[in-house]
Amino acid sequence: MKITRLSRVFIILFCCTSVGEASPNPPVGAAQSGIVVPDDLRHAEPVVRTLEAGGLVVQSVQQSTLEASFGGQNAAFITTDKGVVQIVVLPGAMDAEQLTITYTKWNGNGHHFYITGSTVRKPVDMYGSQFPYFTLHHNWFIRTLQPELDGIIKRILGQSQR
């Protein structure tokens, strides 16, 4: 009797393992999920999947300091094969497109960006020595430091032909 039960368990385990190993590749045309997005950064998942669908390889998704700049809004620091993308996901469907970004020179060779809008509790001041590139898409505020990556993102979002 013990041998019979043990045999059944072995057969069940063997069959389950075989079924799982029989199809290691997803069917052609099946959507492939990319990097796993941490639970506390689920707000960034649509951005991550959009970047992946556009051909970028997303390597990591982490917390971003932009969250504090935008009054606690959902933000993420996304590392791709082409560089870093920082995003803020604003609450309203078109909130990012309502922002105004004003540029001025700062401290000789520095850059100052002043960001205002109805969804920003208090104006955001960004200072730095590197020139950032911004993309506003629906409720996504996107910042990169590489012009090539900015162009790729704008192409993915349909904001550029190149």
DSSP 3-state assignment of 81?
A: coil
Chunk the chain into consecutive blocks of 10 residues (it has 162) and report each block's average pLDDT, rounded to whole numbers. Answer: 46 40 39 82 97 97 90 93 97 94 92 91 92 97 97 96 66
**In angstroms, what CA-CA distances link 5 with 10, 11, 12, 13, 108?**
9, 10, 11, 12, 80
Q: Where are the domains of the chain?
A: 38-156
CA dist 116 and 123 (Å) reads: 5
- The two structure tokens encoding residue 131: 């020139």
Contact 102, 113 (CB under 8 A): yes
- Model pTM score: 0.77
